[in-house]
Structures are given as C-alpha cells and as structure tokens.
Amino acid sequence: MALRTVVTVGDERLRRQSQDVEKVTPEIQTLIADMIETMHANDGIGLAAVQVGELLNLIVVELPEDEEDPGSGQRYVVLNPQIQRASSDAEPGIEGCLSIPGYVGEVERATSVVVRGLGPDGKRLRLRAEGLLARVFQHEIDHTEGVLFIDRLVSPERIWAVPNGEEEKVEASQALPSKIGPH
C-alpha cells in the first residue's frame, strides 16, 4: 500500500470520463488498497480513482461510525458503479471534496439511491443507500463522469471557504451554511 497524491481542481483528468474496469487484476487490487489508505490519510469519506490520477471507473466509500446511521462504519469498494435508481425525494446538503481543497458548497441530491457495479472480487453487487451514504455515492460516481460538486451547486453563491483539511468534517456533520460564513 502507498499513499497517492490527490489530484486537485484544474487538473484536466477530473473532467474526463473514467474507463470501466474490465478485470480485477493485482494492479487493481493495489490501486484499491492505495485509494483506501489515501482516503484515510486525508480524512476523506469517499474517493474516486480519477482523484488519484487513474481514469478508471472505481470508487471507495467509508463513513465514520455512527450508531444512528445504518450505512456508517462499513467500507464500500465499487468498480464500474452506476446509479440504477434514485429517489424523487431530494434535499440540499453541504459537500466538500479532497480535489477542491478549502471549499464546501450546497448541493441538492437524491435522498436514496440504488447503486450497481462490481465488488473488489469482480462479482456483481447492488447496494441501497440513504442519507449521507447516498450523497457520498452520488458525489463519487459524479467524479467517474467528470462532474465535480461545484457543477451541482444549488446556486453560484452557495460555496464557502473553510480551513484547508476541514472540508470532509463539514460534509460529514452537514453543518448549516450560516455557520460557515460567506465566501
């Protein structure tokens, strides 16, 4: 396992469509392990392969343990993830991103999704996610399609500067924008 450098906004790779993973190889397993280590080292709760410079359709997600959130504390590794179904119910929430350090913004997302793809063993999987877990899946799957959270802001003025390294903490706590202050 090795820490990888997180690609930040301005790098053209973040705007490109990721390629499907055709086969789970030792190199893919190494990439998965590196992504998990990189996500943890940066206090992230999700990471797409493109964020470490690999244009592969692969995400890892792991929310902090919270006994009131059934999706928390579990690690998800999904190759070729797709949102199969999204609820018609949507709500705004605060999102940050390791690839956009120092900023968070308000984005409206479906409150629940069904995600399909392949697990790290190459077998098909289907996951139902709600709340913050659904939001993180949507955010990371957007990365695989070249979309950043700043593209989905509820309005252009709904983005705020935060201390560098605090983005994911703000996202996980779902802090109210009024507590962050204007940009």
**Residues classed as catalytic:** 140
Half-sphere exposure of 134 (CA within 13 A, CB side): 23
- 3-state class percentages of the chain: helix first, strand second, coil last, to nearest 5: 30, 30, 40
Which class for 89: exposed (0-12), middle (13-18), buried (19 or more C-beta within 10 A)? Answer: exposed
Tell me how far apart the alpha carbons of residues 173 and 108 are, in angstroms, rounded to a whole number.
16
Rg (CA), the chain: 15
Among candidate residues 138, 132, 167, the one with its CA nearest the CA of residue 8? 167
